[in-house]
Structure 1
Amino acid sequence: MEATVSKSLQLTTWNSSDYTVPTLNNSMRLYTRYEKNKSKRVNNMLNCNHLATIKPAIGHRTAGLKASCTSQNFPASLLKSETFIAEEDLLLKKKSEEIKPCLSGRCIYLVGMMGSGKTTIGQILSEVLDYSFFDSDKLIEQAAGGTAVADIFKLHGEGYFRDNETEVLHKLSLMHRLVISTGGGAVVRPINWKYMHKGISVFIDVPLDALAQRLTAIGTASRPLLHHGSGDAYTQTFMRLSKLWEERSEAYTNASVRVSLECIADKLGVGDVCSVNPTQIAIEALVKIEDYLKE
């Protein structure tokens, strides 16, 4: 599915004595577009200033190569790895087809700490479920005229960002057939859970040490609650993540289901949670959602 979605919100401004601050109003209009083919299909859209087509890729992972080869001169390990990937994709497709009717169009909200892979997993889920995908942080950035989250924090403070985050979640909660990747701190406001509980919330639980390794490798400059100055990057990142976890861990328990990378790694018989790929996480998310819907 090619989900054509809006990525901008309309803004008004108010003037202070020092500077002009953009504020979100209620002009993010929601509407529904009906397409006619063999059956009437509903696509949820946001009124937009420009459109972007999201085409998530599934199953494109690099396979390690070994020296042994088959008679066709292909590395045996590559063939084995590609077989596993194909099997995973088939399982993902099968599970998504089983769960679609049970969802009844309900939105799926992905929550979890920064760097837990919510965006990548969300894109995979939206693809197989034929849903549209939104990243709440990206919507807020584009609502602020393309201002990055880190700069929004710096210019206007965390409270301003959280207010806009709540409004975005409110607007999205009025829609159907969406997969939404939320910011790591979206869980701290009870009002946000009121909106997310209109759908199904999925907590992507990744161990802090794995998150710290991942975030240190890619850098923390774009993470306003994580960016640090001097000192060992990994240690500083891990300590800050630990502090955020203390503040948020209880809130994450409000999620409808929990997807633990440690549990997935145990099932797969791998020792490192970093070996668990996004498709495997997406499959586990669908299994957990199915169990939740059966309760």
Structure 2
Amino acid sequence: MTNDLLQGVNLYLIGMMGAGKTTVGHLLAQHLSYGFVDTDTVIEKVAGDKPITKIFADDGEAVFRKLESKVLSQVCAFTKLVIATGGGIVVRRENWSYLHHGLIVWLDVPAEVLYRRLAEDTTRPLLQDADPQGKLRSLLEQRQPLYAQADLQITVSEEETPEQIAARVLEEIPCVLKPEHSPAEPS
């Protein structure tokens, strides 16, 4: 039934780093028989197999954000994809025009849970800060109003497994999609 409602429309997973977008995205893609794309992985390939930490270090966040927008613009041309986006994809206004080509799902995870998940992760350039927990909280506060523009918000608890989260997303899709309306069409 969910596949019938989606009619090939992409699912875009947004949310903070550490929210589980990639893990949950793989599960959703498998369930829906969709392809899976992680925009961060594509960005690294486009940048000549350069890790995101190196892009930030060598070129800065602005260059990374431009690459991110370019990749998103290319990915949105396809259908039947679950797309895990970077946590900051929502900060550039132009990205919303691409995201609105599909159904936008916000994996909303409390800051404390995010910090526990990311405490040992050295691959997150924006957390290379004297106060990584404060930086994470600040980023979340800045981005929450943007994330809240998603079509579907899934508030995640620490106890939930990725499988349970994916199941909740699939259960909620029919609540936001009606057979006569798909996200790619104007309301």
TM-score tier after normalising by the smaller chain length: over 0.9
Q: Quote the residue 2:162 is aligned against.
A: 278
Kindly state the Cα deviation for residue 220 of structure 1 after the two structures are TM-superposed.
Answer: 3.1
Q: CA RMSD in A?
A: 1.1
Q: Which has the higher strand share?
A: 1
Q: Give the aligned partner of residue 293 of structure 1.
A: 177
Aligned pairs (5 A) from 1:244-259? 244-259=139-154
Name the structure 1 match of 2:185. Answer: none
Q: How far 1:277 moved relative to its partner? A: 0.3
Q: In the alignment, what sits opposite 1:220?
A: 121
From the CA coordinates, give the structure whose radius of gyration is larger: 1
Alignment of 1:178-189 (within 5 A): 178-189=81-92
Distance 1:141 1:129 in 2: 26
Unaligned runs of 5+ in 2: 182-187
1:109-188 → structure 2 map (5 Å cutoff): 109-188=12-91
- Which amino acid is 1:156 matched to? D
Contact 1:220 1:228 in 2 (8 A): no
What is the aligned length? 179
TM-score (norm 1): 0.59
Segments of 5+ residues of structure 1 without an aligned counterpart are: 1-97, 230-235, 262-272
In 1, the alpha carbon distance for the partners of 2:112 and 2:62 equals 28
CA-CA distance at 1:139 after TM superposition: 0.2
Q: Which amino acid aligns with 2:102?
A: G
What is the rounded CA distance, in whole Å, between the counterparts of 1:241 and 1:167 in structure 2? 25
- In the alignment, residue 226 of structure 1 is paired with which amino acid? L
Name 1:15's counterpart in structure 2. none
The aligned counterpart of 1:238 is 133
In structure 2, C-alpha distance between the alignment counterparts of 1:224 and 1:152, rounded to whole Å: 9
SS of match in other structure, 1:275: coil
One-letter code of the match for 2:173?
I
Whether the aligned pair in 2 keeps the contact of 1:215 and 1:237 (CA below 8 Å) is no
Scaled by the length of structure 2, the TM-score of the pair is 0.92
* Alpha-carbon distance between aligned partners in 2 of 1:135 and 1:125, rounded to the nearest angstrom: 13
Q: Distance in 2 between matches of 1:258 and 1:175?
A: 23
- Match of 2:154, SS state, is strand
CA contact (8 A) 2:105 2:150 kept: yes
Residues 129, 135 of structure 2: 8 Å contact kept: no
- Residue 274 of structure 1 aligns to a residue in which SS? coil
Question: Which one-letter code corresponds to 1:225 in the other structure?
Answer: L
Distance in 2 between residues matched to 1:185 and 1:176, nearest whole Å? 23
The residue matched to 1:259 in structure 2 has which SS?
Answer: strand
Residues 110 and 180, structure 1, Cα contact 8 Å, conserved in 2: yes
Quote the offset at 1:286 in angstroms: 1.2
